[in-house]
């Protein structure tokens, strides 16, 4: 609890006060009228608290909005479900409702068959099925995305991709191909990692059609951010060869994960511990892949970002897929 309080005190200083409620009381019949309106947050918060008290934590096409804000609503809703925190669920549903729908319409809306009140189902895809590594490699070599995104410091220019109708259509195509049965660290891409853990937590609470919509919507936005960060190569071989400066400590432990987790808990940069938790959870669920690559991913996360003095420090903010990023050394 002491460490949690320390983290809270660090970040409480910049939290904005709640806005005043809007004049209209929001209900399940009219809540869509204010979607995308940040000023309606307090009204949405009150509505969702009432809905959760009556009906539980999930309902209809809000699934299309929870990936907004770099996945933060999705991630925090998963925490709410995992630790039974209905107030947190209400806060993040309100945040999702206030996120602009313009961010998702080109990618996520076409995934619905009959609109927001219809049964959640996916448009049929005749393309061949691929794993995520194959899809990423295909996007990297797809000339459709050449010169679309320019190198701009401290910016995730995903709106440029969304505004290109052909690019959005291509990303939908790649997302439909995903078969989910089967050293610089990017600040924006790490949210894809932490949100994967959130999807895993949330999906068991959903009906099958809703679950598929959430999975397809999540991968669609993940590919969007991948393109906007310059389509970086996966560098799995380099990761497999990574040697942590903590190696002596790790080698002496019966469970090297305990050392990594201890270092992550001590980090001031809050994304470090969330990323390490997501990677550790992947190891629990899927086992140890070749060359202890998940352990090494956690180690490199701690080594690079764990000593950052504040949120976002020591993460790359410019996009690790751009050559200019690597020339800034």
What residue spans define the domains of the chain? Answer: 2-103, 106-121+128-228, 236-327
Range 131-169 burial, b when 16+ CB lie within 10 A, else e: ebeebbeebbeeeebeeebeeeeebbbbeebbebeebbe
Nearest to 269 by CA among 228, 234, 303: 303
Asked whether 301 and 185 are in contact (CB, 8 A), the reply is: yes
pLDDT of residue 278: 92
Nearest to 216 by CA among 162, 247, 179: 179
Asked whether 243 and 89 are in contact (CB, 8 A), the reply is: no
Asked whether 123 and 217 are in contact (CB, 8 A), the reply is: no
What are the backbone angles phi and psi of residue 262, rounded to the nearest 5°? -60, -45
pLDDT per residue as tens, the chain (329 positions) = 787 788 778 777 777 888 899 989 998 888 888 888 888 989 988 888 888 777 765 545 566 667 666 778 888 888 888 888 888 888 887 887 777 544 555 555 555 443 333 333 344 444 567 877 888 888 888 888 887 777 666 566 677 777 777 787 788 788 778 765 546 788 878 888 888 888 888 888 888 877 888 888 888 888 888 888 888 888 888 888 888 876 555 555 678 888 888 888 888 888 899 899 999 999 988 887 777 899 999 998 998 887 766 666 778 888 888 888 877 65
Helices 132-140 and 165-177, axial angle in degrees (round to 10): 150
pLDDT of residue 165: 76
pLDDT of residue 105: 53
DSSP character for 144? Answer: G
Dihedral angle sign, alpha carbons of residues 196, 157, 31, 93: positive
- Whole-prediction pTM value? 0.57
pLDDT of residue 93: 78
């Amino acid at each position: 609890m002491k460490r949690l309080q320390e983290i809270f005190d660090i970040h409480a200083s910049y939290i904005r006060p709640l806005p005043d409620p809007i004049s209209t009381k929001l209900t399940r019949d009219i809540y869509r009228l204010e979607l995308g309106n940040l000023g309606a947050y307090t009204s949405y918060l009150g509505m969702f608290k009432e809905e959760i008290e009556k009906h539980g934590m999930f309902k209809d096409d809000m699934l299309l909005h929870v990936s907004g804000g770099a996945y933060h609503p999705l991630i925090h809703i998963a925490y709410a479900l995992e630790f039974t925190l209905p107030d947190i669920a209400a806060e993040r549903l309100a945040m999702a409702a206030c996120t602009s729908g313009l961010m998702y319409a080109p990618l996520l809306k076409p995934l619905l068959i009959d609109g927001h009140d219809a049964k959640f189902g996916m448009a049929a895809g005749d393309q061949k099925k691929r794993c995520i590594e194959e899809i990423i490699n295909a996007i990297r070599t797809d000339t459709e995305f050449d010169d679309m995104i320019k190198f701009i410091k401290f910016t995730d220019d995903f709106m440029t991709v969304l505004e290109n109708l052909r690019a959005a259509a291509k990303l939908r195509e790649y997302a439909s191909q995903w078969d989910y049965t089967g050293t610089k660290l990017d600040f924006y891409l790490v949210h894809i990692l932490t949100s994967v853990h959130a999807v895993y937590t949330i999906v068991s609470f959903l009906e099958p059609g809703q679950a598929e919509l959430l999975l397809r919507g999540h991968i669609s936005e993940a590919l969007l951010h991948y393109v906007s960060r310059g389509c970086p190569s996966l560098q799995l071989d380099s990761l497999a060869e990574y040697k942590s400066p903590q190696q002596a400590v790790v080698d002496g432990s019966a469970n090297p994960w305990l050392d990594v987790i201890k270092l992550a808990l001590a980090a001031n940069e809050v994304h470090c511990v969330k990323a390490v938790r997501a990677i550790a959870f992947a190891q629990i669920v899927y086992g140890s892949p070749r060359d202890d690559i998940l352990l090494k991913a956690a180690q490199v996360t701690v080594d690079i970002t764990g000593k950052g003095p504040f949120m976002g420090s020591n993460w790359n903010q410019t996009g690790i897929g751009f050559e200019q990023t690597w020339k800034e050394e």
